[in-house]
Structure 1
Amino acid sequence: MKVTRLGGSRVRVSQLGFGAAGIGNLYRALDDETAYRAVEAAWEAGIRYYDTAPHYGLGLSERRLGAALAGRPRDEFTVSTKVGRVLVPSPETAHLRDDAGGFDVPADHVRRWDFSGDGVRRSMESSLGRLGLDRIDVVLLHDPDDHWRQAVDEAYPVLHELRDQGVVGAIGAGMNQWQMLERFVVETDIDTVMLAGRYTLLDQSAGERLLPRCRERGVSVLAAGVFNSGVLATAEPGRMYDYRPVPDAVYARAVRIAKMCRAHGVALPQAAMAFVARHPAVASVVVGMKTIEQVTNNAELAATRVPDGLWDDLVAEGLIHP
């Protein structure tokens, strides 16, 4: 599988990335064996980039990912995790479930927003422990939407310093919006951004400004949320869009895109991944996967070429931007 270097760093990512929120029990519980087999299947498929975060299952995703990668040659895979949410023990809520966070795990910790320098260092130290690794390849500021000032004034300088020291290979930010990511690209010296859901078959809002800025500044894009949380994940459009019921107008557009895909012998999720991957700013398409079947299907679809005629027809019908 093709690998690409992130920005000016030495860190390389595979063109398809394993999004590990699912093995942190996103929405529903998963047993350890299923999670392990999913990561094993990803390795067998040639996937060498794995993305996780403390937020995912209150650390469960990091623990499971680390256990599944244990024993693999360390220089042959890349792991990214995130900072900005510090996990604090909460024994008084341990009998509850993490419903507010969206993960089916005991609420034995609570998340505290913390983009301070000390918070970044503590978060990274805890992540290293859960992952069982000696280093983290990529560290991303996680959802600093309401914390710009602290993230750029306190968290970013620490990441910059750790990168200079060689403790971290590459640094960046990950968000569900493109406007603040553009500020990071322009105003800081980051290697990468993780853009979730804002450059897809259904939402190309980041294509006009953010992606060109990334090209100008040599910042690589890790494209996540390419299925817009479900509507583009299956051959027939699903009913969820950005974690909510899909609006009628968006669903109708997805149906038109799916029909055109079928006319070209292409599956809708295949087109969703290929559309994003063809942009020159995108280094990796990160897809959430938690079972062998999901990994195998996504890897096969990602490796199958999409005819150029599909893009021409989608543009002609006004369904995607030129």
Structure 2
Amino acid sequence: MRHRTAGRRQIRNTAVELTGLGFGASVLGNLYRVTPAEDASAAVEAAWEAGIRYFDTAPHYGLGLSELRLGTALRQRPRTEYVVSSKVGRLLVPNEHPRGVDSEGFVVRDDLRRQWDFSREGVLRSIEATLDRMGLDRLDVVYLHDPDDHWEQAADEAMPALAELRDQGVIGAIGAGMNQSAMLARFLRETDADVVMLAGRYTLLDQSALDDVLPAAEELGKSVVAVGVFNSGLLSRDRPNEGMKYDYQDAPPPLVARARAIADVCAAHGTNLPRAAIAFPHTHPTIINVTLGMRTSEQVRQNVELHQQHIPDGLWDDLRTQGLIRPDVPGAGAGARSSTCL
């Protein structure tokens, strides 16, 4: 079934518009296990048929494999109808000492290796290589990728280089993507960033972004894309259990117990934990998109169905009352709207 795309949301102060649900293409780079090429193609096809028009990738994902596959899958689509984001900071260079398989979680050959580089030249080289791999002449959004240990070069060299490309029309919007929120707030406040990709810091289990990046985005009129909304898996099932992951580690028992308590409140409101986890980021007015990793067409269909489910307004109030989310989490108005369109 085709779904509406009219609910696109603009990255503030730019011409770039994102659908409320985005396609995260890290798994197309064989993250943790092989994704057959036919599954990758079918997943993008299913996302397109469902109305998803925002696709996110990076050179880091499978040493370029994700970009190659996504570019191939989108090649016959009208370029004006979709938005692609990629990232800079990990430049792919020849690997002088290959061991056969990539050591960073992607099941690919390691003929290339990643080299941290947030210099102006590195940014330009990285974008040129991405455009070549994807068969594109422009990117809609480019993020600095995990610049945690590289603030000075990222802020002083990489972001100005991206700003120049944005002004030239090669890029539509620029920003940074990280697993922390404090430095993302600095990028919004101290650089020309339009948007940030916030991983795991505004979820049902972690609302720390309310202390820094979300207020900065609201104050400055900038935008946020939310990823990692399942916190590596703990929020991805109706009933969390021991042994599930939280931020890439085994979830500690107290956190599992809290996730179960949230799941119980969700069930009392006629919904479930994964649905609420996808809807929750949209409660904040600066968050314009939730992007999920999708490996197969079936995962796409499941995620679209979860995203479109109505979340009762009273759920967030009950979670606040029971101390399961912070009392300063905004109301549910934006979240209720997000469930009706992609």
Matched, 1:177 2:180: yes
Amino acid at match of 1:271: A
Q: Residues 211-230 of structure 1: matches in 2 within 5 Å?
A: 211-230=214-233
Match of 2:109 in 1: 106
- Cα 1:91–1:29, aligned 2, differ >3 Å: closer, same or farther? farther
Matched, 1:208 2:207: no
SS in 2 for 1:53: coil
Distance 2:35 2:306 in 1: 24
Mapping 1:185-264, distance limit 5 Å: 185-237=188-240, 239-264=244-269
Listed one character per residue, the Cα deviations across residues 6-33 of structure 1 (whole Å, up to 9, x for unaligned) are 1211011110010110111100011100
1:229-266 alpha-carbon deviations (Å, 9 max, x no partner): 10111212251000110011111100101111111111
Aligned residues: CA RMSD:
1.0
Structure 1 residue 209: Cα displacement: 2.4
Cα distance in structure 1, aligned partners of 2:210 and 2:49: 33
Q: Which of 81, 94, 101 lines up with 1:76 in the alignment? A: 81
Report the counterpart of residue 97 of structure 1 in structure 2: 101
Quote the Cα distance in structure 2 between the aligned partners of 1:295 and 1:175: 24
The one-letter amino acid of 1:122's match is: R
Instruction: Kindly state the Cα deviation for residue 287 of structure 1 after the two structures are TM-superposed.
Output: 0.7
CA apart distance, 1:91? 5.6
State whether structure 2 residue 25 is matched by structure 1 residue 20: yes
Identity %: 59
> CA–CA distance in 1 between the matches of 2:268 and 2:25?
33
The residue aligned with 2:38 is 33
Question: 1:90, CA displacement in angstroms?
Answer: 1.7
Residue of 283, 289, 298 corresponding to 1:293: 298
1:149-186 Cα deviation digits (max 9, x unpaired):
00011111100111111111000000000011011111
Letter in 1 for 2:156: D
Aligned partner of residue 155 in structure 1, secondary structure = helix
The separation in 1 between residues aligned to 2:212 and 2:154, in whole angstroms, is 22
Letter in 2 for 1:264: H
Give the corresponding residue for 2:16: 11
**Counterpart Cα distance in 2 of 1:41 and 1:236:** 27
Matched with 2:61 is 56
Give distance in 1, aligned partners of 2:275 and 2:125: 39
CA distance, structure 2, for counterparts of residue 91 and residue 115 of structure 1: 22
- Equivalent position amino acid for 1:295 in 2: V
Tell me, what secondary structure is at the counterpart of 1:221?
A: strand
Amino acid at match of 2:135: G
2:119 maps to which residue?
116
Structure 1: tracts of 5 or more residues without a match: none
CA distance in 2, matches of 1:65, 1:189: 28
Q: Which residue of 1 aligns with 2:307?
A: 302
Q: Does 1:158 align with 2:161?
A: yes
- For the residue of structure 1 that corresponds to 2:209, the secondary structure is helix
| Alpha-carbon distance in structure 1 between the residues aligned to 2:97 and 2:213 | 43
Q: Equivalent residue for 2:326?
A: 321
User: Residue 146 of structure 2 aligns with which residue?
Assistant: 143
2:277 counterpart residue number: 272
C-alpha distance in 2, partners of 1:120/1:237?
Answer: 41
SS of equivalent to 2:324: coil
Separation in structure 2 between the aligned mates of residue 28 and residue 236 of structure 1, nearest angstrom: 25
Aligned equivalent of 1:312: 317
Q: How many pairs are equivalent?
A: 320
Q: Match of 1:229, SS?
A: helix
Moved over 6 A (4+): none
Aligned to 2:334: none
TM-score, normalised on structure 2? 0.92
Q: Does 1:168 align with 2:176?
A: no
Letter paired with 2:35: L
The alignment partner of 2:235 has SS state of coil
2:310 is paired with a residue of what secondary structure?
A: coil
